[in-house]
Amino acid sequence: MRKLMIPVIVIFIAALLMSMFIVQEGERGIVVRFGRILKDNNTEIARIYEPGLHFKVPVFDRVRMLDARIQTMDDQADRFVTSEKKDVIIDTYVKWRIEDFGQYYLTTGGGNASTAEALLKRKVVDSLRSEIGSREIKQIVSGPDRGTPVVASDEDDAPATEIVAEIAPRKEVEGQRDQIMDNVLADIKISAMKDLGVAVVDFRMKKINLPDEISESIYRRMRAERESVARKHRSQGREKAEVIRAQSELEVAKILAEADRQARVVRGTADARTAEIYSTAFNKDPEFYNFLRSLKAYENSFNSKNDILVVDPNTDFFKYMKEANGVN
pTM, entire model: 0.55
The answer as to whether 22 is a domain residue is: yes
Whether residue 206 is found in the same domain as residue 77: yes
The answer as to whether 33 is a domain residue is: yes
pLDDT at 45: 79
Q: Which is it for the CA torsion 164, 89, 179, 201, positive or negative?
A: negative
What does the buried/exposed string (b/e) look like for 62-78 if buried means 16 or more CB atoms within 10 Å of the residue's CB? Answer: eeeebebeebebeeeeb
Instruction: Say how far apart CA 167 and CA 157 lie, in whole Å.
Output: 13
pLDDT at 161: 41
Whether residue 223 is found in the same domain as residue 174: no
pLDDT at 319: 67
Whether residue 111 is found in the same domain as residue 177: yes
Q: Which is it for the CA torsion 245, 250, 254, 256, positive or negative?
A: positive
Whether residue 80 is found in the same domain as residue 205: yes
The answer as to whether 327 is a domain residue is: no
pLDDT at 233: 93
Please say which residue of 67, 86, 104 terminates a domain.
Answer: 67
pLDDT at 1: 62
User: Mean pLDDT across the chain, nearest whole number?
Assistant: 80
Rounded to 10 degrees, what is the CA torsion of 321, 324, 327, 328? -130
Instruction: Say how far apart CA 291 and CA 319 lie, in whole Å.
Output: 9
pLDDT at 128: 92
pLDDT digits (tens, 9 = 90+) for 59-118: 788 888 888 899 999 878 888 988 888 888 899 999 999 998 888 888 888 888 889 999
- Amino acid (1-letter code) at residue 94: V
pLDDT at 203: 93
Please say which residue of 169, 190, 210 terminates a domain.
Answer: 210
* pLDDT-flagged residues of the chain (< 70): 1-2, 143-174, 302, 304-309, 311-328
Total structural domains in the chain? 4
pLDDT at 76: 80
Domain holding 13, by residue range, is 2-67
- DSSP, residue by residue, 253-317: HHHHHHHHHHHHHHHHHHHHHHHHHHHHHHHH-HHHHHHHHHHHHHHHHTS-TT------TTSGG
Instruction: Say how far apart CA 116 and CA 37 lie, in whole Å.
Output: 18
Whether residue 249 is found in the same domain as residue 265: yes
Whether residue 6 is found in the same domain as residue 130: no
pLDDT at 127: 92
Whether residue 39 is found in the same domain as residue 128: no
Whether residue 46 is found in the same domain as residue 160: no
The answer as to whether 295 is a domain residue is: yes
Instruction: Say how far apart CA 301 and CA 82 lie, in whole Å.
Output: 106
Whether residue 93 is found in the same domain as residue 61: no
Whether residue 85 is found in the same domain as residue 191: yes
The answer as to whether 328 is a domain residue is: no
Beta bridge partners of 58: none
Whether residue 51 is found in the same domain as residue 133: no
pLDDT at 158: 42
Whether residue 225 is found in the same domain as residue 312: no
Instruction: Provide the CATH number for the domain around residue 93.
Output: 3.30.479.30
